[in-house]
Amino acid sequence: MLKKIEGGVCAAKGFTASGIHCGIRKNKTKRDLALIYSEKKASAAAVYTTNLVKGAPLTVTKNNIADGKAQAVICNSGNANTCNANGLEIAYQTCELLAKELKIDAKDVVVASTGVIGQPLDITPIASGIPQLVKELGNNSDHACEGIMTTDVCKKEIAFEFTVGGKVCHIGGIAKGSGMIHPNMATMLVFVTTDCNVSSKALENALQADVQNSFNMISIDGDTSTNDMVTVLANGMAGNEELTEDSPDYATFCKALNAVTTYLCRCIARDGEGATKLLECKVSGAKDEKTAKTVAKSVICSSLFKAAMFGADANWGRVLCAIGYSGADVDVNLVDVVFRSAKGEIVVCEKGAGVDFSEEKAKEILLENEIEILISLHSGEGSATAWGCDLTYDYVKINGDYRT
């Protein structure tokens, strides 16, 4: 049984964290360097962006955790360290400097960056900040969370307690993500820690499977970033027998991991740049899961539909339109659509056609800050959920002067 707890990435035994302002960002009130540290070397797994243009830290991290092990995560905000001539050098230097301070192997460091692409990054502020970063290690998940934020309005962190083999385990995560969010991995930076004992291979397989139904089902603006990464560290300090894919409790761990990732998905979608509403599209009755996913993502990605939600306009035709061009094998004459929120629910489409409904009631429902779009395809047992947000005037304002 899962129990929500406090602590974020520090909820698991043996993990500490910190976050400071080192000088990468001009605003001295904003933390721009974060650290997560495990007192024991941990199993490690990661998933990376599918963008062909990748930040230097991703290359370095992929090399470092090729053995399935890591002990620390360092991440800067304010500069993506992407498309820089010396990007790899900076990323490797960061690992070496941190490793020296922590007295660990540089190859056991996960390094990440987020911020402006193509802007030169100087190692000086990172080098000067690392001693303080290490000195401030403690129960500071919230500080680490702040240190990885860019245009995020709110911190994104969560933790759960669960039991494996009679041992109490903990899992927690922090995330950043507000813009340049689009399906097909990984669409943000996410760092997850657990004290559950999980083999590197099992951890990798659990993460790869999980992202298909979590982070690959979010869209904010249709842009896939260059620095996206989801990383999980499992240090085994809960004391359970090592989990493999064949272990009876492997499914329990996967469920706990999914609880963390799903929560963070909703946080990221809710905090989309300029967003005022979280949109959750639930598709049921598809001929298979693939069809359901295609439909759900098409609706969530529709700029016209997102704009309608901003205006609390029950323009269900935009839902049908998005389904129609999704490429999914759907009989549009069987489609039902319902809008639901804390104010109730309303049927707006049945069997692919409009029905009489109260525009006033629909507007009341759509004025809430969390909206569910329920789509029934009546063609099978497949289902899927995707998350997104409305499209507002502020999205253009935020991205119109992002560099300046």
Active site residues per annotation: 187
Establish whether the linkage from the previous residue to 384 is cis, with ω within 30° of 0: no
Let me know: does 180 contact 219? Beta carbons within 8 Å: no
What proportions of the chain, in percent to the nearest 5, are helix, strand and coil?
35, 30, 35
Let me know: does 390 contact 279? Beta carbons within 8 Å: yes
Residue 18 tokens, joined = 């910190």
Closest CA to 175 of 189, 158, 160: 189
Residue 365's contacts (CB-CB under 8 Å, 6 or more residues apart) are: 314, 339, 340, 341, 343, 344, 345, 346, 371
User: Which residue type does 250 have?
Assistant: Y
Residue 40 tokens, joined = 């024991």
Integer angstrom CA distances of residue 204 from 218, 234, 321: 21, 11, 37
| 347 φ, ψ (degrees, to nearest 5) | -80, 125
Closest CA to 175 of 223, 142, 139: 142
Burial of 379 by CB count in 10 Å (0-12 exposed, 13-18 middle, 19+ buried)?
middle
Residue 82's contacts (CB-CB under 8 Å, 6 or more residues apart) are: 53, 54, 55, 56, 113, 117, 118, 226, 227
| 93 φ, ψ (degrees, to nearest 5) | -60, -40
Which residues are paired to 366 by β-bridges? none
Residues 335, 339, 340, 345: what is their CA dihedral angle, to the nearest 10 degrees?
A: -90
Which residues are paired to 213 by β-bridges? none
